[in-house]
Amino acid sequence: MALTTGTPAPDFTLPDGNGQPVTLSTFRGQKNVVLFFYPKDDSPGCTLEACSFRDRYTEFQTAGAEVLGISSDSEVSHQQFARRHNFPFVLLSDRNGEVQKLYDAKALWILPGRITYVIDKEGIIRYAFDSMLDFAGHVAQSLRILQTLSQ
């Protein structure tokens, strides 16, 4: 079950692929944020999903949004994954799964969940898309919601 739309997005700080801290609240007042949780770097489904975000990244930028991906993989794994696939967005390492729990990215079997949140410039959750198998849906639905926010 996703967090409720219309509520504030829980703040967090996680390291990126270079070990640099990224804090969600630094985007407040500046950009919408698309926050996607995925199970594992380089797995087939996660690669498809992340590459879909990459391929439409300019549309996210045009919509005034930043894309952030989160999994429990290490910073080094994220760095390699991003380099291998030329990701223009940041991947964050949630090694102990605390942020995944905070955002209800629940496990399916042994894998962490796959859920995407659209958070507006004020830090309010405007949409959550929760699907383990509809990889492209995470991207398409997020863009659809961002378009309504800019109207």
pLDDT band at 6 (very low <50, low <70, confident <90, very high): very high
- Which top CATH class is 29-149? alpha beta
Element of type H or E holding 130: strand 125-130
- Which residues are catalytically annotated? 46
* pLDDT value of residue 44: 85
Q: Would you list the domain boundaries of the chain?
A: 29-149
CB-based contact 38:71 (threshold 8 Å): yes
Strands 32-37 and 65-71: parallel
pTM of the entire predicted model: 0.90
Mean pLDDT (whole number) for 88-93 = 96
pLDDT tops 70 at residue 143: yes
Cα torsion 62, 140, 18, 107: sign: positive
Q: Which two tokens stand for residue 120?
A: 């507006």
* pLDDT value of residue 91: 97
pLDDT band at 111 (very low <50, low <70, confident <90, very high): low
Bridge partners of residue 16, in order along the sequence: 92
